[in-house]
Amino acid sequence: MMAIPVWDLPSRVIHWCFPIGVGLMWWTGETGRMQLHSYVAYVLITLVVTRLMWGLVGSYHSRFVNFMVGPRTVLRYVREGGDYVGHNPLGALSTMALLLLLLSQGVSGLFSVDDVSFDGPFAYSFGGRFIDLATQWHDTNWGILRSLIFLHLGAIAWYQWRKRQPLIQTMWRGWHATRIGAAPPISGVLAIAIALVIGAVLAALIAVAPAAPSYY
């Protein structure tokens, strides 16, 4: 039987690209493999923006209006708990924070340079200290993002094995016997179209970005 998914295919594919992509970004960032770093980053930026758009037009449980809640609801959840089909109020907060930090990591990278031989494609779009600020932010933001990712993994493990909520199965298969979606999913073709448009816009911006000034 194929039940209505809580997490539709686009949300799941995008999600599982995150650990793979961020793992690659960590490795390439630390070892200076900047060409690969930038190509994986363009894919990740496209996926993050697609997920943010999917939060507006995607399937029921992926839409922000259906899981973002105010601080009172978060506090009540912290005190009283509860079982949710989609993101619980803390999961909702964490989702938003992870997506925005990933976006900020990617955007700051576009303006960053390393000390050796690699310039982000937009590094020379603004003059002066902006390159330093962006590069610094790329570094600081990574510290915050990395902590939040470890928190994410800890929280998932806690819900999965201590509270016995089947979060990982649901994120993998889309649904679980105890977690069925509230409405049929929106066609994944729309998500592919959104991703293609965002990828094309990013590629066009990179193509027209100013090159490094020549001193010779």
What are the residues binding ligand HEM (CB under 6 A)? 11, 15, 18-19, 22, 25-26, 29-30, 34, 37-38, 41, 44, 51, 62, 87, 91, 95, 98-99, 102, 105-106, 109-110, 112-115, 118, 120-121, 135, 138-139, 142, 149, 152-153, 156, 167-168, 171
Least gap, CB of 47 to ligand HEM (angstroms) = 9
Half-sphere exposure of residue 129, counting CA atoms within 13 Å on the CB side? 3
For residues 113 and 120, the answer to whether their CB atoms sit within 8 Å is yes
Amino acid identity at 19: P
Query: What residue is closest to ligand HEM based on CB?
Result: 109
Least gap, CB of 135 to ligand HEM (angstroms) = 5
Least gap, CB of 88 to ligand HEM (angstroms) = 6
- The H or E element containing residue 185 is none
- The H or E element containing residue 28 is helix 9-31
Least gap, CB of 71 to ligand HEM (angstroms) = 18
Least gap, CB of 48 to ligand HEM (angstroms) = 7
For residues 94 and 119, the answer to whether their CB atoms sit within 8 Å is no
Nearer to ligand HEM, 80 or 115 (CB): 115
Nearer to ligand HEM, 76 or 146 (CB): 146
Nearer to ligand HEM, 112 or 175 (CB): 112
Please tell me the distance from the alpha carbon of residue 60 to that of residue 142, in angstroms, as a whole number: 31
Nearer to ligand HEM, 15 or 173 (CB): 15
Least gap, CB of 193 to ligand HEM (angstroms) = 18
Nearer to ligand HEM, 53 or 156 (CB): 156
> Long-range contact list for 206-210, CB < 8 A, 24+ apart?
206/42, 206/121, 206/122, 209/121, 209/122, 209/124, 209/125, 210/124, 210/125
Please tell me the distance from the alpha carbon of residue 115 to that of residue 94, in angstroms, as a whole number: 33
